[in-house]
A and B are shown apart, each in its own frame.
Chain A
Amino acid sequence: DTEVTQTPKHLVMGMTNKKSLKCEQHMGHRAMYWYKQKAKKPPELMFVYSYEKLSINESVPSRFSPECPNSSLLNLHLHALQPEDSALYLCASSYLDRGRYTEAFFGQGTRLTVV
């Protein structure tokens, strides 16, 4: 299995809703990432988990709350989002090669619309 699977593919939520994005990989990768991508822009790093511990938070607002329940799963909990948070949310994972994380494998993304 060489895939990163994200669910749902599309999500529409109101500003008062609580929802979660899910990501799963079974490649044994020990780093997992959340990226946010706006139209015609490169992905922006949000969070990095290394060995199930949060290692990087790129000053993301607290309305985004990541969780890594185990080495295969990564969640992003959403609460009280704003319309400007509408974007494609990408999950990725990578493996260690001689002590360095190497290329990231990306999921297909969740297209989030906040209304």
Chain B
Amino acid sequence: GDSVTQMEGPVTLSEEAFLTINCTYTATGYPSLFWYVQYPGEGLQLLLKATKADDKGSNKGFEATYRKETTSFHLEKGSVQVSDSAVYFCALSDQAGTALIFGKGTTLSVSS
């Protein structure tokens, strides 16, 4: 079945460092891909999305490119802030779009 694999955390960075969180997927057809962020004690917020190959999703300085050849959707940010500390989930929606399949989540901790 469809699945999402993302790098294990926690990821610990200093403010203004470069961030990469790796995400790869297994799916039949052409899934839509998403990054969600969850701040402590809150629900999930959609960070960015891409619906077809070579699409780049971007929001709040974060970017991810849908790479079908490598089945990847890595999250990047050029300069992280303390306020970016959260759990990040990579997810896909299959062709039926029935529901989301999540990766295990990566905890990011940014210190000043």
Contact = CB atoms under 8 A, between A and B. Distances in A.
A103 B51 CA distance: 10
Contact of B105 (A33, A41, A106, A108): A41
B97 A90 contact: no
Given A40-B105, A41-B104, A41-B105, A100 B43 contact: no
Given A40-B105, A106-B44, A56 B32 contact: no
Interface string B42-61: 11111001010000000000
Given A102-B93, A106-B45, A109-B42, A42 B98 contact: no
Contacts, number: 61
A88 B110 CA distance: 25
Contact of B97 (A40, A42, A92, A100): A100
A107 B98 contact: no
Nearest to A108: B43
Contacts of A92: 44
Most chain B beta-carbon contacts within 10 A, residue among A6, A45, A102, A103:
A103
Interface in A58-92: 90, 92
Interface of B: 32, 34, 36, 42-46, 49, 51, 89, 93, 95-100, 102-105, 107
